[in-house]
Amino acid sequence: MAAHGANQTHKGYPVTVKYTQLFINGEFVDAISGKTFETYDPRTGDVIARVAEAGKEDVDLAVKAARNAFDNGPWPRMSGYERGRIMSKYADLVEQNMEELAALETLNNGKPVAIARLVDLPTCSKVLRYYSGAADKIHGQTLKMAGPYQGYTLHEPIGVVGLIVPWNFPLVMFFNKISPALASGCTLVLKTAEQTPLTALYCANLAREAGIPPGVLNVLSGFGDPAGAAISHHMDIDKVSFTGSTETGRKIMEAAAKSNLKRVTLELGGKSPLIIMNDADVEEAVNLAHQAIYFNMGQACIAASRIYVQEGIYDEFVKKVVERAKKQVIGDPFTDGVHQGPQINKTQFDRILQYIEYGKQEGATLLTGGNRIGDKGFYIEPTIFSHVKEDMKIGKEEIFGPVMSIFTFKSIEEAIELGNKTTYGLAGGIVTKNIDVANRLSRSIRAGIVWINCYAVFDGDAPFGGYKMSGIGRENGLYDLSNYLQVKCVITPLHHSPWL
């Protein structure tokens, strides 16, 4: 393994890589095969460190540890109050180590460090606290039986869960997945994305420090195939929760069907519409549209990659949104004032530039951007196309980059029809001052979350998930607990007791 050094800083930020092994049964260990892989800095493409690479046999080992912790360990058996107390302590540790975690996230993922500190990290500790508070509020129902019987339901933890996360919000995804699963009393095997293994390993160590018992949380670095596939095919994993592409989601569901019919939650891709009506404040609409697509370098499943502008304000909107894009500050994500860092890696960078080419070839109008910036790392100009149609590649496929596509419409009926003209259904946005229009649109958009006069607002209490090919199930909120619980019905006869 590479030497990682101690107390390194970059532009004043601490960026030491301390943990690079697999975290199994409460210990950091090498992969059984001894294999490692390189993880890169998206600013340069340079290697940051070598990380242990989990194979099928490491997944088996982690599942054994999780199974033992579930069948024999204290975690599912302790009171919800006690689990919540440990999770609260974990949240304290995340907050205490926020600076270092934010810097490490930026080093491995490329997002502006200010965003990592102000958005990503607080989201992590908040979601942990949300579910730490939920851990002692999991209860079933008393049944009103139509006979002299007593019936009630128990909400039991589902068992060993496999969690597979992507690279765009490595830490947020880590905590979004583990928090409800931990609160429910499950034990976990989580695989990080191969592009961004570092911060989850750091947080595995914090889990140990917080007092989460060995085997409850196992964290593996590795590739979709073999490690991810070993999780989704595993006969001793009771449930898998996945966030990533629709294509991989399909494979995971197939694997679940072919193995032990494990429960599946999928949070997949999107091609979300933002519908801007004539009565909108144009400045506000421009700001919202800009943030809704360029946030996280466009690498967000909820990105508003289809902007629908009503014809009355179309010209003014287009002029101003182009001016706004040109003011975007792009550069080293560790530098103050930078809005946009590099894309995650060469593969994604090439893919985005290819989509920009498709846009030009298919007859959309390139208004600004379209090029790489510099000759090192993976920086791309904020790009805007107008005259986009729903059947063009850039109009229907998820680009996952800083590419805005602008469409126009005349009537609200047309906005509804075009907005829904997608196989996805993750999110949608509406900009209007008219409450009746807002109500009609929000109830007509076929998506799991709709933002009115705002965009990308998340909360531990706000359920999130997709319609159509954007996924199955909801994450966040109390709804998410049901992903990790199963319902047992218990019935006994009532002898010599009042039956009321």
Contacting positions for ligand ADP (CB under 6 A): 164-166, 191, 193-194, 223-225, 228-229, 232, 244-245, 248, 251-252
Determine the 3-state secondary structure of 494 from DSSP.
Answer: coil
Work out how close the CB of 25 gets to ligand ADP at its nearest, in angstroms, rounded to a whole number: 21
Packing angle between helix 121-134 and helix 80-96, nearest 10 degrees? 170
CA 262 vs. chain centroid, Å, equals: 21
Based on CB atoms, which residue is closest to ligand ADP, 194 or 332? 194
8 Å CB contact between 51 and 22? no
Based on CB atoms, which residue is closest to ligand ADP, 102 or 268? 268
Work out how close the CB of 112 gets to ligand ADP at its nearest, in angstroms, rounded to a whole number: 20
Listed in sequence order, the DSSP H helices in 53-187 are 56-72, 80-96, 98-109, 113-115, 121-134, 170-184
Work out how close the CB of 452 gets to ligand ADP at its nearest, in angstroms, rounded to a whole number: 29
CA dist 125 and 87 (Å) reads: 10
Q: Which of 124, 186, 301, 398 is catalytic?
A: 301
8 Å CB contact between 175 and 26? no
Please, which residues have CB within 8 angstroms of residue 122's CB and are 6 or more apart in sequence?
Answer: none
CA dist 289 and 318 (Å) reads: 11
CA dist 366 and 475 (Å) reads: 37
Please, which residues have CB within 8 angstroms of residue 12's CB and are 6 or more apart in sequence?
Answer: none
Q: Residue 168 is which amino acid?
A: N
Determine the 3-state secondary structure of 328 from DSSP.
Answer: coil
Based on CB atoms, which residue is closest to ligand ADP, 193 or 289? 193
Q: φ, ψ for residue 155 (rounded to 5)?
A: -100, 100
Between β-strands 403-409 and 306-310, what pairing exists: parallel, antiparallel or unpaired? parallel
8 Å CB contact between 274 and 304? yes
Residue written as token pair 């080419």 = 357
Based on CB atoms, which residue is closest to ligand ADP, 97 or 246? 246
Based on CB atoms, which residue is closest to ligand ADP, 244 or 471? 244
Based on CB atoms, which residue is closest to ligand ADP, 228 or 448? 228
How many residues are listed for the chain in this entry? 500
Q: Is 362 a catalytic residue?
A: no
Residue 452 CA: distances (Å) to CA of 52, 72, 467? 44, 48, 18
Based on CB atoms, which residue is closest to ligand ADP, 161 or 193? 193
Q: Which of 194, 267, 398, 475 is catalytic?
A: 267
Q: Is 398 a catalytic residue?
A: no
Residues recognised as catalytic: 267, 301
